[in-house]
Amino acid sequence: MDEQVGKPPVSWNDTFIGYRVGNNFHFPGVADKIKQNIGYLTTTGGFKYGSYAFNVDYRVSDSANPEAGGPNSGGAQEVYSVGRVTASASKIFGRQVGYGVIRDVGLTGGYEFGTKNDAYAQRARMLVLGGTVEFALPRGFWNLTVGARTESNHNGIVGADVDYDTAAHLESSWLYPFRLGSVPLIFRGFVSITGPKGKDGFGVQTTTEYLTRAALLADIGSFAGQPRTFYAGVGYEYWKNMFGTPSDEAVNTKTSTPMLQMEVHF
């Protein structure tokens, strides 16, 4: 796909593998900062009636976040997948529905599934549904979805499954390609905000959770005659009240970490 300059075609796809690493991750109840190596596979695209985005992360922690069994058992591993499908009103009705700063509107549904082999042993199962607005940009995209999220999970510390209350949910994602001199760049990321969802497995009332991740990547493949293929740059993740845990209930409920990041697009 040609970096989504202007209005994207009806059908397109961008599939890529990537790697990012950061040294200042945190998890509630874990005293030390954690290094994580993260590999990921992502596919995004458009089809006749809308668009889609699917991602799976494979995250490996260092010994500060060990596998279940103790500090000598090695760093924990986690698999986490996110998927979204948006039905586009403009594509379904065959005419431009948006006006002015709004390019399109639609309905987005999706999931988040995860599993991790540390002592907490999370097994996240989430569903998301909401209305979506896509804003009109000269290139790239920017959308906003407002709706609700359901969640069930597992708390290995107390040995119980937890069904949370349905929570208000807002998410936004963007991609903007530009140039800095002769260097083609993309600025890409998302923001996710989930409201209180009842009590967690410890009986603690949850609070609003904030998560954002962004990356500034250079198209280094363009210097070797392979544009939009090889990217490298920096990323940043900020996560406040992780899993809805209030900061006064556990240590290290916030992550703020820069990352190095690279990708290969097919």
Domains of the chain: 14-88+107-129+142-265 (2.40.160)
For residue 80, pLDDT beyond 70: yes
Cβ 174 vs Cβ 189: under 8 Å: yes
Cβ 228 vs Cβ 265: under 8 Å: yes
pLDDT band at 69, cuts 50/70/90?
confident
Which pTM value belongs to this model? 0.92
Q: What whole-number distance in Å separates Cα of residue 38 and Cα of residue 35?
A: 10
Per-residue model confidence as pLDDT tens digits over 111-143? 999 999 998 899 999 999 999 999 999 999 999
Cβ 229 vs Cβ 256: under 8 Å: no
Q: What are the residues whose beta carbons fall under 8 Å from the beta carbon of 82, sequence distance 6 or more?
A: 53, 54, 55, 56, 110, 111, 112
Phi, psi of 223 (to 5 degrees): -80, -10
Q: Higher-confidence residue: 72 or 15?
A: 15
Average pLDDT, the chain: 93
Put residue 133 in one of left, alpha, beta given phi > 0 → left and psi -120 to 50 → alpha: beta
Q: What is the pLDDT of residue 71?
A: 66
| DSSP SS3 for 242 | helix
Q: What is the mean pLDDT of residues 20-28?
A: 95
Q: What whole-number distance in Å separates Cα of residue 231 and Cα of residue 233?
A: 7
